[in-house]
């Protein structure tokens, strides 16, 4: 076991000053354990950082950090709307491998949550906006709004984030159903599958991975946006898939967990059993660890103060994940302030960990009374002015000096498409595309056709795609002369070259692909066929039938085929011979549902959702603090002489009684937990306030039962509407006796 005890000496620069100021800061990692043969180093820490949530690297390899100090400064979440966020540049002026200077690139931001160095500038998310700025002398210029509704509403835990540039030249996001790209200086936005919660990553092939609180790893079996051409079909067997049923976590100590009181959440030693706040998966593609670590997925578990390692295996039509170990994690810490919230592949092959280093990582809208008590007892709410970037490296890794990408020629960038480090390959591809080094087109084509490195071939294909320099003949040449992974991408790219003049050649190449009898190729060929059946049903329908014959019970293949039948699904559905031949197969069942939805005008939801919406508890929390907190207290403990406590009140546990109180009001005396409150004031109801809707009441109930009881509940707006007509004996506020009588 190799754990370094590292000291950050001579850290300079006050966060909001570009003038270096000497600061001595010591950060010890003796409470941290990392897998054998790996090193854990601190690259930067406070006072250079404060609540970092995301990082990216620029052309020189410098780390740029999005900071969110407005998140959970206290148990009430005060200051979320304050412009306290920033984006800073970390610099290592003395070249010792540790940041010693922090330069503010942009400040006065409200909850910035994601950033990406693309197109020679910086793309960043500051809800509700997605912005792009050019960079001159480390300063923002020419600010452009990419999307004015990137993250219109929502809890900070549930707003879009990620900005992951994938191999297909599109930028994807978690908690969002949109992707982005700039073409000829114009930003494009289009629908994609809704994915995950916080963090998103891709593998060497270009498949996407993500997760949510309680599921450590989700993913797509197929390349993004390949199965959604048919807007009335929603692929469910091939996207948003749970890749492992094993959600076990193995923390180093008994930390504080939001629902720790619930049965099964903690074990007999009060240690967390299963994931409750999984986020930010990362497919390791750095090429600097041992081969057994290639394309492993590392996952942040901030509630458990750990980072998990997961292994992937690929079948061609699915992806399977497996935890690397039982009773063990890749990184664990006994420091309850260790909050890994993001991971990143680095320019030299290391893995970088963004440690927000905060006592309270869960939003106040979801916080249980149990966790509030734990946090206060441990003073977790005082851990707020911290933040760290850690680097994970392998002891045997060779350190390579990274060149400045801005200074590289086109030919030098082409050579980097063959690099072992996926971060280098991604960046080389992107620079070739946006800088337009078309003088290297023959070099790029040579890589796409003749290299023995399948990943560099795929990168080269998408350089040509970005330049709009692909052709039908070139892609078919790639299919014939390349392995299955490269051929699959060429089939995807063939979709834009569907035409009658290519019919003969297409039929010939499709026959060749079918003869390979490879399930992954059947998937992408099946998805392509609908476009060709549209122009020559007689010639290309047999190809579809052959794939369905040998893969008729394969739901991923069926999804791919129906997803490509946009213009001919009704024709095929009316073909009695086909329907009888495939009777009782998933194809017929899914196609029938698609046609039904098409006739009813029910589209795949990604084509109808325009913005993300706020969850009920967050909306309820806002209304509670506006309307209720002044009397009941922000912590729900009541205020003497004004209102009784809500915390663990029997009136909160009963949602219908709570709704009646909110609607019609309550006149004392009232008992809470056996204690009488005879306050000489009546709580007025909200029923006469026409601006308060049934949805608002439902949201308040959702928040109050979550924040002040151990049993979060909801009440339907329909039932709330019915309760509006339930009156007290006076027609005014209810008494406690009347409420109790209604229960009976």
What is the separation of C-alpha 77 from the centre of its chain, rounded to a whole number of angstroms?
Answer: 22
CA distance linking residue 60 with residue 702, whole number of Å? 48
Instruction: Give the length of the chain.
Output: 744
* Whether the bond into 361 is cis, omega within 30 of 0: no
Q: What is the mean pLDDT of residues 100-108?
A: 95
Query: Of all residues in the chain, what percent carry a pLDDT higher than 70?
Result: 95
Please tell me whether residue 363 adopts helix, strand or coil conformation.
Answer: coil
pLDDT in tens, 666-719: 887 888 888 888 776 677 788 877 778 888 888 888 888 888 887 888 899 899
What is the number of other CB atoms lying within 10 angstroms of the CB of residue 346?
A: 21
The sign of the dihedral angle between the CA atoms of 360, 364, 367, 369 is: positive
Which of 24, 525, 39, 593 has its CA nearest to residue 316?
525
pLDDT in tens, 478-523: 999 999 999 999 999 999 999 999 999 999 999 999 999 999 999 9
Q: Which residue has the tokens 């892609």?
A: 475
pLDDT at 633 over 80: no
Report the top-level CATH class of 406-595. Answer: mainly alpha
Dmax (CA) for the chain in angstroms is 89
Which residue ranges make up each domain of the chain? 11-394, 406-595, 616-743
What is the number of other CB atoms lying within 10 angstroms of the CB of residue 672?
A: 18
pLDDT at 625 over 80: no
Decide if 279 contacts 273 (C-beta within 8 A). no
pLDDT in tens, 551-604: 999 999 999 999 999 999 999 999 999 999 999 899 999 999 999 999 999 999
Which of 357, 310, 303, 354 has its CA nearest to residue 330?
310
What is the pLDDT, as a whole number, of residue 613? 66
- H or E stretch covering 412: helix 410-416
- pLDDT band at residue 397 under the 50/70/90 scheme: confident
Q: What is the mean pLDDT of residues 354-370?
A: 87
What is the number of other CB atoms lying within 10 angstroms of the CB of residue 351?
A: 26
CA distance linking residue 632 with residue 453, whole number of Å? 65
What is the pLDDT, as a whole number, of residue 711? 82
Domain 11-394, CATH: 2.120.10.30
Q: What is the mean pLDDT of residues 591-619?
A: 85
- pLDDT band at residue 619 under the 50/70/90 scheme: confident
**Averaged pLDDT of the chain:** 90
Cα angle: 472, vertex 477, 481; to 5 degrees = 150
CA distance linking residue 613 with residue 619, whole number of Å? 10
Q: Which residues of 679-695 are buried (b: 16+ CB within 10 A; e: fewer)?
A: beeebebbbeeeebebe
pLDDT at 401 over 80: no
Greater confidence (22 vs 108) lies with 108
Here the tokens at position 235 are 């692929």
Cα angle: 162, vertex 166, 167; to 5 degrees = 170
What is the pLDDT, as a whole number, of residue 21? 34
pLDDT in tens, 179-206: 999 999 999 999 999 999 999 999 999 9
pLDDT at 2 over 70: no
Domain 616-743, CATH: 1.10.760.10
- pLDDT band at residue 652 under the 50/70/90 scheme: confident
CA distance linking residue 49 with residue 102, whole number of Å? 8
- pLDDT band at residue 26 under the 50/70/90 scheme: low
Here the tokens at position 534 are 């549209």
pLDDT at 86 over 50: yes
pLDDT in tens, 431-461: 999 999 999 999 999 999 988 899 999 999 9
Which of 80, 35, 95 has its CA nearest to residue 330?
35
Decide if 71 contacts 85 (C-beta within 8 A). no
pLDDT in tens, 315-358: 999 999 999 999 999 999 999 999 999 999 999 999 999 999 99
Greater confidence (241 vs 653) lies with 241
Greater confidence (544 vs 632) lies with 544
Which of 719, 607, 600, 488 has its CA nearest to residue 193?
607
Q: Which residue has the tokens 């009898």?
A: 517
pLDDT at 158 over 60: yes
pLDDT at 18 over 50: no
What is the pLDDT, as a whole number, of residue 3? 39
Q: Give the β-pairing of 241-242 and 279-283.
A: unpaired
Q: Give the β-pairing of 297-301 and 279-283.
A: antiparallel
Q: Measured between alpha carbons, how far apart are the two ends of the chain, in Å? A: 63
CA distance linking residue 392 with residue 374, whole number of Å? 31
What is the pLDDT, as a whole number, of residue 736? 84
């Amino acid at each position: 076991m190799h754990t370094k005890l590292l000291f950050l000496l001579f850290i300079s620069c006050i966060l909001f000053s570009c003038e270096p100021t000497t600061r001595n800061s010591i950060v010890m990692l003796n409470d941290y354990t990392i897998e054998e043969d790996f090193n854990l180093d601190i690259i930067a820490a406070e006072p250079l950082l404060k609540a970092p949530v995301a990082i990216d690297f620029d052309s020189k390899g410098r780390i740029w950090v999005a900071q969110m100090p407005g998140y959970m400064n206290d148990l009430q979440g005060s200051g979320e709307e304050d412009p306290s966020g920033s984006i800073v540049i970390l610099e290592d002026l003395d070249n010792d491998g540790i940041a010693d200077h922090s330069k503010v690139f942009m400040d006065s931001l409200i909850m910035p949550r994601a950033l990406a160095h693309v197109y020679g500038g910086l793309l960043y998310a500051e809800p509700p906006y997605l912005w792009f700025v050019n960079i001159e002398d480390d300063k923002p210029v020419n600010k452009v709004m990419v999307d004015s509704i990137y993250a219109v509403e929502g809890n900070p835990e549930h707003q879009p984030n990620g900005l992951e540039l994938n191999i297909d030249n599109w930028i994807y996001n978690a908690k969002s159903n949109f992707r982005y790209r700039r073409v000829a200086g114009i930003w494009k936005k289009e629908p994609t599958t809704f994915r995950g919660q916080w963090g998103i990553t891709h593998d060497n092939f270009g498949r996407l991975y993500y997760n949510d609180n309680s599921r450590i790893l989700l993913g797509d079996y197929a390349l993004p946006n390949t199965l959604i051409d048919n807007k009335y079909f929603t692929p469910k067997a091939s996207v948003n898939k749970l890749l492992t049923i094993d959600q076990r976590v193995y923390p180093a100590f008994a930390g504080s967990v939001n629902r720790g009181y619930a049965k099964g959440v903690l074990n007999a030693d009060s240690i967390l059993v299963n994931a409750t706040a999984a986020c930010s998966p990362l497919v390791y593609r750095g090429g600097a660890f041992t081969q057994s670590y290639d394309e492993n997925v590392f996952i942040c578990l901030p509630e458990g103060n750990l980072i998990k390692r997961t292994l992937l295996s690929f079948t061609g039509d699915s992806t399977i994940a497996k935890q690397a170990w039982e009773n063990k994690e890749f990184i664990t810490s006994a420091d309850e302030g260790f909050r890994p919230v993001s991971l990143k592949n680095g320019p030299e092959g290391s893995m970088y960990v963004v440690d927000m280093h905060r006592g309270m990582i869960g939003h106040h809208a979801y916080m249980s009374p149990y966790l509030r008590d734990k946090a206060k007892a441990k003073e977790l709410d005082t851990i707020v002015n911290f933040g760290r970037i850690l680097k994970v490296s392998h002891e045997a890794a060779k350190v390579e000096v990274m060149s400045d990408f801005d200074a590289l020629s086109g030919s030098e960038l082409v050579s980097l498409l063959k690099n072992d480090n996926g971060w280098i390959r991604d960046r080389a591809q992107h620079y070739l595309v946006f800088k337009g080094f078309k003088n290297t087109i023959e070099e790029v084509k040579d890589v796409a056709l003749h290299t023995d490195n399948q990943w560099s071939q795929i990168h080269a294909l998408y350089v040509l795609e970005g330049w709009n320099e692909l052709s039908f003949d070139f892609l078919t040449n790639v299919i014939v002369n390349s392995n299955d992974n490269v051929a699959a991408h060429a089939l995807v790219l063939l979709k834009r070259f569907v035409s009658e003049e290519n019919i003969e050649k297409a039929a010939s190449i499709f026959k060749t692909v079918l003869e390979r009898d490879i399930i992954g190729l059947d998937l992408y060929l099946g998805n392509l066929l609908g476009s060709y059946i549209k122009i020559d049903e007689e010639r290309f329908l047999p190809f579809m039938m052959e794939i369905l014959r040998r893969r008729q019970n394969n739901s991923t293949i069926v999804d791919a085929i129906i997803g490509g039948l946009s213009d001919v699904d009704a024709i095929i559905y009316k073909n009695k011979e086909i329907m009888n031949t495939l009777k009782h197969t998933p194809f017929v069942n899914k196609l029938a549902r698609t046609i039904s939805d098409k006739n009813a005008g029910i589209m795949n939801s990604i084509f109808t959702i325009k913005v993300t919406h706020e969850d009920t508890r967050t909306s309820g929390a806002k209304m509670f603090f506006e309307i209720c907190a002044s009397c009941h207290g922000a912590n729900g403990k009541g205020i003497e002489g004004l209102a009784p406590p809500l915390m663990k009140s029997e009136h909160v546990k009963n949602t219908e009684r709570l709704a009646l109180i909110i609607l019609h009001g309550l006149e004392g005396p009232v008992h809470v937990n056996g204690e009488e409150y005879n306050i000489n004031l009546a709580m007025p109801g909200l029923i006469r306030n026409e601006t308060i809707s049934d949805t608002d009441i439902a949201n308040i109930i959702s928040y109050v039962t979550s924040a002040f009881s151990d049993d979060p509940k909801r009440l339907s707006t329909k039932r709330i509407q019915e309760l509006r007509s339930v009156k007290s004996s006076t027609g005014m506020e209810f008494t406690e006796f009347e409420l109790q009588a209604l229960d009976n």
